[in-house]
């Protein structure tokens, strides 16, 4: 039985929806609901191949209008010039929205960057907050044992080396430590046998933190990206309570299979609606489009045990 239902067989946001006709791809949005409005902070590749963050807005969660211009992004950390940025995860803590994202320098590599905002108009940059070759940073929505907590994925060669999910803690969002392994790849004929990495901001449930993550299978023709679920302990999220055997979302349609990175579904978000049960996931498809899948929180938790 399917855990998630896709909203039709076509994207909810496409490159042609970006004003000016200068977008090649739109994908991997962070998502949040602010004052009843759905906001997607999208990766948008312009005609030069560089990525900008661009916001799409919706009142109903299905029909989106893209802003006329990309967000006014703050200057780079002087110690790490940022040539590209992508895959933002948006976490609300108190009255502030934190965006953790991949910050790339073409000569040095990729690190995790962090900005914050209260209105999605002006953004404040915080110190680049990880070592090199660490990304898929996902900030938990509350402190754990008095410390900020995040999921992360240190990695070697992204084209050949396996990669696992770790977590670390911080007193101030600048200095991170107490690094622990969380979840490893499952070797063999599994859908997440090559790489696993953080996806959505974890959702707190009575059973544990619901972790919607991405897994990668390496095939003779390249990689396949799918989504899966696990439950993490509320007090020590490095402990996995349950991990679903099966993937919950996979590429099926043309817009998910054909694009910059084919055979890919990838998420940076999972929005729990006000009823505490319905969940919307705006996912990147083939690194070229944005799709929508919906489900129930109770079904996602149950899938962790199946």
User: What local confidence, expressed as pLDDT, does residue 43 receive?
Assistant: 97
With a pLDDT cut of 90, the percent of the chain lying above it is 90
Q: What are 214-248's pLDDT values in tens digits?
A: 999 999 889 999 999 999 999 999 999 999 999 99
Taking 90 as the threshold, does the pLDDT of residue 20 lie above it? Answer: yes
Q: What are 69-113's pLDDT values in tens digits?
A: 999 999 988 889 999 999 999 999 999 999 999 999 999 999 999
Taking 90 as the threshold, does the pLDDT of residue 128 lie above it? Answer: no
User: What local confidence, expressed as pLDDT, does residue 160 receive?
Assistant: 78
CA atoms of 33 and 30, how far apart (whole Å): 11
Which structural domain, as residue segments, surrounds residue 143?
Answer: 4-303
With a pLDDT cut of 70, the percent of the chain lying above it is 100
As to burial, measured by CB atoms within 10 angstroms (0-12 exposed, 13-18 middle, 19+ buried), residue 80 is: middle
Alpha helices in the chain (DSSP H): 254-257, 297-303
Q: What are 143-172's pLDDT values in tens digits?
A: 999 999 999 999 888 777 899 999 999 999
**Residue 261 DSSP label:** T
Q: What are 241-295's pLDDT values in tens digits?
A: 999 999 999 999 999 999 999 999 999 999 999 999 999 999 999 999 999 999 9
User: What local confidence, expressed as pLDDT, does residue 52 receive?
Assistant: 95
User: What local confidence, expressed as pLDDT, does residue 263 receive?
Assistant: 97
> What pTM does this model have?
0.97
Q: What are 184-211's pLDDT values in tens digits?
A: 999 988 999 999 999 999 999 999 999 9
Taking phi over 0 as left and psi of -120 to 50 as alpha, with beta for the rest, 301 belongs to alpha
User: What local confidence, expressed as pLDDT, does residue 1 receive?
Assistant: 81
User: What local confidence, expressed as pLDDT, does residue 204 receive?
Assistant: 98
Domains identified in the chain, total number: 1
User: What local confidence, expressed as pLDDT, does residue 30 receive?
Assistant: 98
Count of CB atoms within 10 A of residue 221's CB? 8
CATH number at residue 239: 2.115.10.20
Taking 80 as the threshold, does the pLDDT of residue 303 lie above it? Answer: yes
- Tokens, residue 18: 């970006």
**Residue 120 DSSP label:** S
User: What local confidence, expressed as pLDDT, does residue 66 receive?
Assistant: 98
CA atoms of 212 and 266, how far apart (whole Å): 10
CA atoms of 210 and 229, how far apart (whole Å): 7
User: What local confidence, expressed as pLDDT, does residue 104 receive?
Assistant: 94
User: What local confidence, expressed as pLDDT, does residue 292 receive?
Assistant: 98
């Amino acid at each position: 039985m399917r855990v998630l239902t896709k909203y039709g067989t076509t994207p909810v946001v496409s490159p042609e929806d970006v004003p000016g006709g200068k977008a090649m791809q739109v994908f991997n949005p962070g998502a949040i609901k602010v004052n009843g409005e759905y906001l997607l902070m999208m990766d948008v590749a312009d005609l030069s191949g560089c990525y900008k963050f661009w916001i799409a807005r919706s009142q109903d969660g299905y029909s989106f209008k893209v802003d006329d211009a990309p967000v006014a992004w703050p200057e780079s950390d002087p110690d790490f010039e940022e040539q590209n940025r992508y895959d933002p995860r948006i976490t609300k803590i108190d009255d502030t929205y934190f965006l953790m994202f991949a910050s790339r320098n073409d000569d040095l590599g990729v690190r995790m960057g962090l900005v914050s905002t209260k209105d999605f108009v002006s953004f404040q940059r915080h110190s680049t907050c990880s070592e090199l070759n660490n990304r898929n940073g996902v900030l938990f929505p509350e402190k754990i044992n008095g410390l900020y907590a995040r999921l992360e994925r240190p990695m070697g060669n992204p084209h050949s080396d396996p990669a696992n999910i770790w977590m670390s803690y911080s007193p101030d969002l600048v200095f991170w430590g107490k690094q622990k392994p969380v979840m490893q790849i499952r070797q063999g004929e599994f859908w997440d046998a090559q790489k696993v990495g953080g996806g959505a901001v974890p959702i707190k449930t009575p059973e544990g933190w619901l972790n919607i993550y991405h897994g990668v299978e390496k095939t003779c023709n390249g990689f396949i990206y799918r989504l899966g679920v696990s439950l993490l302990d509320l007090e020590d999220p490095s402990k996995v309570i349950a991990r679903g055997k099966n993937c919950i979302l996979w590429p099926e349609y043309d817009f998910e299979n054909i694009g910059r990175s084919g055979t890919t579904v990838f998420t940076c978000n999972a929005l729990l609606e006000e009823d505490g049960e319905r969940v919307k996931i705006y996912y990147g498809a083939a690194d070229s489009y944005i799709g929508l899948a919906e489900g129930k929180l109770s079904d996602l938790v149950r899938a962790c045990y199946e």
